[in-house]
Amino acid sequence: MPKDPNATVIMLATGTGIAPFRSFLWKMFFEKHDDYKFNGLAWLFLGVPTSSSLLYKEEFEKMKEKHPDNFRLDFAVSREQTNAKGEKMYIQTRMAEYAEELWELLKKDNTYVYMCGLKGMEKGIDDIMVSLAAKDGIDWLDYKKQLKKAEQWNVEVY
């Protein structure tokens, strides 16, 4: 987790990939630390097949209720939700709804992205970012390498 308490932390999870982010969020919003008080933005995107598989939903909604200025929460339920085009709602489909905002955040030095879960989500997210970066004349794959080197793009997929 970034040391900067004013950072933007974007978490992208599918299924059980939510586990490390739950601990991030607990540290940010529920635990008391003398040396750390989170004042930034934590934005969680959680993708699952059915709403019954939304792990820790009530817990995350409580965090959002208690910290509305610091926590955003978006679910993508692929077998139950669709986007405006009628496509299944995968994590990258949900992210596409906020594409411009996410791209602006990614251009900041204090934004950190963490991805954990099924390997399949990585390509879908790259596909969104390629077109957004291209609008600014940036090659996404090169930019992503820079983010990784700066420890701002962290991926653990399986």
pLDDT band with cut points at 50, 70 and 90 for residue 34: confident
Q: Which two tokens stand for residue 126?
A: 């790259």
Put residue 137 in one of left, alpha, beta given phi > 0 → left and psi -120 to 50 → alpha: left
In the CATH scheme, what architecture does the domain 8-157 have?
3-Layer(aba) Sandwich (3.40)
- Helical H segments across the chain, by residue range: 19-29, 57-66, 91-96, 99-106, 120-135, 140-149
**At residue 36, does pLDDT exceed 90?**
no
The whole-number average pLDDT for the span 1-8 is: 93
Q: For tokens 């251009």, what's the residue?
A: 107
The whole-number average pLDDT for the span 131-142 is: 96
Mean pLDDT, rounded, of the chain: 95
pLDDT digits (tens, 9 = 90+) for 47-101: 999 999 999 999 999 999 999 999 999 999 999 999 999 999 999 999 999 999 9
**At residue 1, does pLDDT exceed 90?**
no
Using a cut of 0.75, tell me whether the model's pTM lies above it.
yes
Distance, in Å, from the CA atom of 43 to the CA atom of 8, rounded to the nearest integer, reads 8
Q: What is the pLDDT of residue 5?
A: 93
Is 152 exposed, middle or buried, given 0-12, 13-18 or 19+ CB atoms closer than 10 A? buried
Q: For residue 72, what is the enclosing H or E element? A: strand 71-77
Q: In 3-state terms, what secondary structure has residue 53?
A: helix
**At residue 118, does pLDDT exceed 90?**
yes
